[in-house]
Structure 1
Amino acid sequence: MSGPSRGLRRISILLLAAGLSPAVHALDFADCVQDALRQNPAMLEAHAQAAEAQGAVSSAQGHLLPKLTASFSASQSNNALTVFGMKLSQRRATFNSFGANQFDPNLGAAGLSIAPGNLDHPSGYHNFGTKLQLDIPIWNGGAIRGGIDEATAMLRAAQNGDRAARQKLIFEILQAYDGVVAAQSAIEVAEKSRKAAEAYVKTSRQLLARGVIVKSDLLSAEVHLEEAQLALQHARDQRENALENLAVLIGRAKTDGLEVGAPVMPSFPQGDLQQLQAQALADNAGILALREQLKAARAGITVARAAYMPHINAMANQEWNGTGLGNGAPSYTVGGEVSWAALDFARGGQVDSARAKVQLQLAKLQQAEDHLRVQLGQAWRAAQ
């Protein structure tokens, strides 16, 4: 241990031995905000939601790109069709696979009725298959692009929600921090009131002994002292409650050693009420999040309408099939597909549901904007 560390430890031991404790470092408002933003559960939840939305965007964008799939299979069968297919895919089919060795040309047309045993009743046969397949999306009625727009809007909504959660948390910390400061001031006032009440009781007893006042005056002074003591205890309880609230917000398990610094005096915003309301509607994170959710709901209509459109996709695969792992016969397949659901009664309900979600988000947005205007007006008038 270094010399300065030994010195600090010796001073702490001397203070404890003297019945004192080292000075407690008081947290100012900035310290409280920093601690809360780092570990408050509400902020961790908001960060997780933003990360989840970012993952949804990446997933939606991935549907635009080709998908390559690799697979390996091993199978054993005595099913006639399966065995013949295995032999064809391995390029091992022979005339005897059709039962050519059982055909007797001397029987003439009657020989054509002979059932070939090799073809109808094969013995067990196995196949090892390796396959690489490339699926290429070309156009899916706008479903992929609509899904990307929907996921992107939800990401922006989550980011604004993260900002709104940050602002809300800072406001809650401000209230809790100010609560501790106010409770501390209340304790100081209650302490002075208690001391004054004690002095008044002492004076009243002396005056009663001299016959200047009556007994009821002393009793009144004692009642006032009890009220002052009760007010002091109430102020101390309020401070403990405020400290516990602040400790929870900044992520501390206990209030031991928790002290706050100087009071916080936020500056009053410039502008009249109409200007502040316009600024709030333009920049409020919660309102912006709801607007992005509305955009996501509208993109959902595009996704639902894609069921009415043709879907065009292409594919290409390369296969190796053989009786062993090292003797596979290669083959390939390329193709494209155009599909169009001519009749599907479920898709109409999906479009109606997507439109209903848009109306729901419009209602939520309008309600939030009205509430924000009223709330801001009340706060502005109270501050004035």
Structure 2
Amino acid sequence: MPFHPHKKTRSIFIVLLMGTGASLPAAALDFNQCVDLALRQNPEMLVAHARQAEARGAVSEARGHLLPKLAASFSASQSNNALTVFGMKLSQRQATFNDFGAGQFAPNALGVAPTGLDQPGGYHNFGTKLQMEIPIWNGGEIRGRIDQARAMLEAARSGNTMARQKLVYAVLKAYDGVVAADTAIEVADKAKRAAASYVKTSRSLLARGVLIKSDLLSAEVYLEKAELAVESARNARANALDNLATLIGWPEEKTLTVDGPVRPILPAAPLSSLQSDAMAQNAGIVALRHQVKAAQEGIGIARAAYLPHINAMANQEWNGRTLGNAAPSYTVGGEVTWNVLDFARGGSLDRARAKREQTLAALQEAQDKLRLEVAQVWRSAQEAALRVRMRELAVRQMEEAQHMVRLRYENGIETVTGLLRGQAELDQTRAELVSARYAEATERGALLLAIGKLNPQEIVGVGSAPAAEGVSQ
């Protein structure tokens, strides 16, 4: 790619202008700069980024269930409950025969309740515990949740791509809308200058007795219409600038102007190939496929409830009457659980299967709509290109014809009605050419969006010449 130092200089200038807030002359933003600004602050992109971050968190959470869990706890307790106190003494390894009432024991008094055992009085314990839980196998539930989370992450990434491409398309429409509005102002200005010239010529011819007063009035009415058209074109440009400024987050206190027009590349492949590309590359379709995979993993997760779960645990405890004098103890073990009879799990499995069917139906519907959309947009793009060529030819032909009509009018052999009718038709054709060029750009952008290839690299500048072509006086 060739290096353009002036573009780099302009980019640095824009950054400095926005960062300092200095009252410097406004620089024109090119299309890529508008896209960059939109991607950094547009709410749709911020939402898409947040969804992707949420999906990454879900993957991390699911992976965490594969790893052991270690918990630490500290407790301090005071009790006079006989069972609790005896348990405290055992955990502290402080139990004695006297705790069983040995001092009160007599062979002939076996029915005597030992006071030390039944009425121990208040007793306290400080306990510290480390416990580790180790998952071994849970019927494939954990692996299923990891795969499901990964599928949803891929769906979120595709959704992010789709949001990005939709934003690029919105910027394209807004940016070229400003360019089209600028060109429409040029067209309206040319029509106004022509109308003013006709008024001047009509006054001269009226003074020479060639025209009547009504002819001059007709020319003046046409001039007023041309002036109104200029004002309308300027309002349209202001609206287009407001739309673009909102998309890119441009400060209200700064003047916004744009560089030359841009036009997406028109794919040369046949329609059937473009439809195949859309099925494979459209980010919305790709996201739905990942959602189908996630729904399929949901069935596996539901089935895990029918299988045994195996887990292990280990803990280390310290218990004592003081913090610095505690007796250690440990416990290790394993557990196998199997819900042999559980009617609720059948409903969970049915719900997971229904979810998969719903996502499959949504995918099929989206594919059918996209296939039709690609065909319609492709035909519209072809028609738009043909319409631009026809309008360009019509403008050139009508400009030549109007030139001849004007010469005849200036020589008194053409009526003002014919002159103004020809000029109105020329103005209308010029305006239609501006609209046709805008429609061509947006239809091409819609086609690239549908087939999943709408990137700034596919949108090229066409310079200032094409925008002004066919609208000269």
Distance 1:71 1:100 in 2: 36
Shift of 1:138: 0.5
Residues 311 and 161 (structure 1 numbering): CA distance in 2 closer, same or farther, change over 3 Å? same
The 5 Å alignment of 1:72-151 reads: 72-105=74-107, 108=108, 111-151=109-149
Shift of 1:99: 2.1
Letter in structure 2 aligned against 1:61:
R
- In structure 1, the partner of 2:278 is 280
Q: From 150, 155, 177, give the equivalent of 1:157.
A: 155
Residues 189-238 of structure 1: CA deviation (Å, up to 9, x unaligned) = 11121222233334445555666544544443333233222221221111
Shift of 1:93: 1.1
3-state secondary structure, aligned to 1:265:
strand
Shift of 1:122: 2.3
- In structure 2, the partner of 1:326 is 324
Residues 255 and 196 (structure 1 numbering): CA distance in 2 closer, same or farther, change over 3 Å? farther
Distance 1:143 1:307 in 2: 8
Shift of 1:36: 1.8
Q: From 253, 259, 264, give the equivalent of 1:261.
A: 259
Letter in structure 1 aligned against 2:145:
G
Distance 1:40 1:22 in 2: 25
3-state secondary structure, aligned to 1:64:
coil
Letter in structure 2 aligned against 1:28:
D
Check whether the contact 1:244–1:254 (CA below 8 A) recurs between aligned residues. no
Q: TM-score, normalised by structure 1?
A: 0.89
Distance 2:356 2:228 in 1: 57
Check whether the contact 1:243–1:255 (CA below 8 A) recurs between aligned residues. no
Distance 1:76 1:216 in 2: 112
- In structure 1, the partner of 2:40 is 38
Distance 1:353 1:122 in 2: 56
Distance 1:255 1:267 in 2: 35
Check whether the contact 2:26–2:254 (CA below 8 A) recurs between aligned residues. no
Q: TM-score, normalised by structure 2?
A: 0.73
Structure 1, 143-152 or 362-371: larger mean CA deviation: 362-371
Q: Percent same amino acid among aligned pairs?
A: 67
Distance 1:296 1:305 in 2: 15
Shift of 1:302: 0.7
Q: From 361, 378, 381, give the equivalent of 2:379.
A: 381
Distance 2:168 2:66 in 1: 41
Distance 1:209 1:63 in 2: 97
Distance 2:124 2:226 in 1: 96
3-state secondary structure, aligned to 1:279:
helix
Check whether the contact 2:298–2:352 (CA below 8 A) recurs between aligned residues. yes
Distance 2:66 2:350 in 1: 26
Shift of 1:55: 1.4
Shift of 1:341: 0.9
Check whether the contact 2:250–2:256 (CA below 8 A) recurs between aligned residues. no
Aligned residues: 360
- In structure 1, the partner of 2:342 is 344
- In structure 2, the partner of 1:191 is 189
